[in-house]
Amino acid sequence: MSYTPSPQRYAAMEYRRCGNSGLKLPALSLGLWHNFGHVDVLENSRQILRDAFDAGVTHFDLANNYGPPPGSAEENFGKILREDFRGYRDELIISSKAGYKMWEGPYGDWGSRKYLISSLDQSLKRMKLDYVDIFYSHRPDPETPLEETMGALDSIVRQGKALYVGLSNYQTPEATRAIEILKELGTPCLIHQPKYSMFVRWVEETLLDLLEQQGVGCIPFSPLAQGLLTSKYLKGIPENSRAAKPHGFLQEEDITEARLHQISQLNAIAESRGQSLAQMALAWLLKDPRVTSVLIGASTPAQLADSLKCMQNIQFSPEELAQIETILR
């Protein structure tokens, strides 16, 4: 079936200015970290992307190593882009990253100029694109001077391979210096992508204030804490969940009695708001104007549709916020 995007696709989504830039991002962006690799069903991935765009999600976030196998999410995305989104490229914000291990040897990991530029060249070939809209340094490299890593990002923009650059997984001290270097080079940092959720809140200590002061956007990843902030774990650990898998990012020991009690209490507040726990967790991040967009994942079109419903209620009463704070502390 050929695809024609919904003519109403911009009706319901909110778009937020990204820091001090001219760019606006949808309040919800789609991350392709999971569910878009060669191990996944391509037609399911295709339907998720179509449904996202129909709902006004214009930002698709990738990285060189997304899959599995690494690189396959970009290949599949590129294929769907050519087949379904031909003629709509200029309505999309496509991002990629480099910083984690992608190939063997000393040049396939971390933050050298050699690795970042080579990796982006490979990403562009996989997606069959001339440029990405945003390219990130995926993590700081303790052994490469920050000037070299940021200089590579600056070169990438000047070469026309990316329109903007960003940082991901940088703690406040490295982020402060990186933002300064990019500003000096004349290629300002557009956006920072940290892990942030109700259960992971380090960014509130100093990072959000820094980003606001420097005019840099913020796009949290893992907003549902690898699925903990959903109804999935209310009755224990389901067989097919991430926590049931031996080598995942979420382990069985992460799901303590105290954590389950928190999840249950949060779920009760979500129900009183007419939301699922996942919808409330997304709305809770979006309540902060310093958050430009939140990266959601989806394994099925139904899961995407459920997350998108969070936009129907992103306002919280002072009482609700106080209750949530008491539970989280």
7-18, pLDDT tens digit by residue? 999 999 999 999
pTM of the model: 0.95
Q: Does 268 reside within a domain?
A: no
What pLDDT does residue 250 have? 59
User: Can you give the pLDDT at residue 59?
Assistant: 99
9 located within any domain: no
* Distances, alpha carbon 74 to alpha carbons 65, 136, 175, 303, in Å: 9, 15, 27, 21
Long-range contacts from 106-114, C-beta under 8 angstroms, 24+ separation: 110/139, 110/141, 110/143, 110/144, 111/137, 111/139, 111/140, 111/141, 111/144, 111/148, 111/149, 111/152, 112/141, 112/144, 112/148, 112/149, 112/152, 113/148, 113/149, 113/151, 113/152, 113/155
Mean pLDDT confidence for 91-95: 99
pLDDT value at residue 85: 98
Task: Give me the pLDDT at residue 248, please.
Answer: 60
Rounded to an integer, the average pLDDT of 171-195 is 98
Per-residue pLDDT band at 54 (split at 50, 70, 90):
very high
- Confidence at residue 255, expressed as pLDDT on a 0 to 100 scale: 80
Query: Would you say residue 77 has pLDDT above 70?
Result: yes
Give the residue numbers spanning the domain of 120: 17-233+290-314
Number of domains, the chain? 1
Q: What is the pLDDT of residue 232?
A: 85
Give the rounded distance of the alpha carbon of 258 from its chain centre: 28
Higher confidence at residue 165 or residue 1? 165
More confident residue, 257 or 272: 272
pLDDT digits (tens, 9 = 90+) for 151-162: 999 999 999 999
Considering the domain boundaries, does residue 57 fall inside one?
Answer: yes
Asked if residue 301 belongs to a domain, the reply is yes
213 within 8 A of 172, measured Cβ to Cβ:
no
pLDDT band at 98 (very low <50, low <70, confident <90, very high): very high
Residues contacting residue 251 through CB under 8 Å, at least 6 positions apart: 243
Residue 263 has pLDDT above 60, yes or no: yes
Overall average pLDDT of the 47-73 stretch? 98
| Mean pLDDT for all residues in the chain | 95
At 239 the pLDDT is 66
159 in any annotated domain: yes
Residue 257 covered by a domain: no
Residue 1 lies in a domain: no
Q: What angle do CA 196, 197, 201 make, to 5 degrees?
A: 65
pLDDT at 170 over 80: yes
pLDDT at 287 over 60: yes
* Average pLDDT for 165-177: 98
CATH number where 43 lies: 3.20.20.100
From residue 60, how far is each of 1, 28, 36, 56, 63 by CA, in Å?
Answer: 22, 10, 12, 11, 10
Of the pLDDT bands very low, low, confident and very high (cuts 50, 70, 90), residue 40 is: very high
**Mean pLDDT in residue range 101-110:** 98
Does a structural domain hold residue 29? yes
Question: Which pLDDT score, from 0 to 100, does residue 1 have?
Answer: 81
